[in-house]
Structure 1
């Protein structure tokens, strides 16, 4: 498993950086569990309906129990009435949190890196920078790399590069501190600055 090194023109060279062999032996289930926990943690959890005790009105019995030939009714706010409460609707009181251990979180990150390296989609460049701040310049680099979409990881974000990449749908630019296993796994390729790559491996 090796990360491919690119030159300043974002072309592949004969050089590469090896990943620790232990990465390939990590059970992929760690990555699955982390992705599941990550997606659960970003749920908005805003869907909410009112039941019959929460909607307004319905205090008085609408009509007498017998004698009028229609169905009996005790309240205008039951779920069978228009304007009534909702039976078994979504509630925003549900907790979607899923625990993930620090060690498992790290194993998931390592496995995601190994998967990308195994596919030849882990690319390392000395420095990624778009001095012009123009999206067309960033788009031309991504097109040259030949991947459907790509995650770009910098040691430290700069304003020009951020402006160049923020409107492109096929790339996502992040700081090294924002990297997680889910982001590494969800993109088809990862382009990472050399200093950021070394720090990421060192933390492992």
Structure 2
């Protein structure tokens, strides 16, 4: 079980929150998290790049010049990979990069990655009502009061979408906004600080604690 201090909008400590998740054994933790990270990054590849082989290049239906007597090297087609504008040898073709991983393994890797960042968590009270209109400056001020350095990459986790929070956060270059039920290994490892609301923490327990 992990216990965290909960801070209010002004940055003051107002309570405690806990999270209990099943994680991988210490000797296997880095391996399973690495596998999940590689899977996520690999599956994000589109695999749509394509080059033309000599059979797909247009033209080249006849021999450019006769076999002998010209003094030039023999040539059979302008589609040869040796020619400018010819086909490509062993070039990339559309392919599926999908890497499969069992659902239980994916969940275990996600929980392990989340708990491994416990030292970088910042748990705060719900603050959507503090932003009646979009105000990036006010959100940045609150983040500073929560003890997050200005240059840090921040993952902000909410239990439910909040329009004013989204509009206030979208201009912050190093901040990602994500819902508690849509966590992923890459974002958890990318962030320097993970800011989550107390209700988001409860949602994480509900979704991933089973």
Q: CA deviation at 1:169?
A: 1.1
Which of 62, 67, 70 is matched with 1:65 structurally?
67
1:139 match: secondary structure: helix
Distance 1:168 1:21, change over 3 A: closer
Give the paired residue count.
200
User: Normalising to structure 2: TM-score of the pair?
Assistant: 0.86
> How far 1:22 moved relative to its partner?
4.6
The 2-side partners of 1:64 and 1:131 are apart by: 81
The SS at the match of 1:23 is coil
- The answer for the alignment partner of 2:192 in structure 1 is 188
Shift in alpha-carbon separation, 1:45–1:138, aligned structure 2, 3 A: farther
Residue correspondence of structure 1 range 134-149 to structure 2 within 5 A: 134-144=135-145, 145-147=147-149, 148-149=152-153
TM-score (norm 1): 0.88
1:53 aligns with: 55
Q: What residue is the counterpart of 1:95 in the other structure? A: 96
Distance, in Å, in 1 between the alignment partners of 2:180 and 2:71 is 72
Q: Deviations over 1:99-151 (max 9, x none)?
A: 1111111111111121111xx21121121323331222222233343241111
Post-superposition offset of 1:198: 1.4
Q: CA deviation at 1:152?
A: 0.6
Q: Aligned to 1:34, which of 36, 39, 42?
A: 36
Report the Cα distance in structure 2 between the residues aligned to 1:8 and 1:143, rounded to whole angstroms. Answer: 10
In structure 2, the gaps of 5 or more residues are none
Structure 1 runs of 4+ with >6 Å offset? none
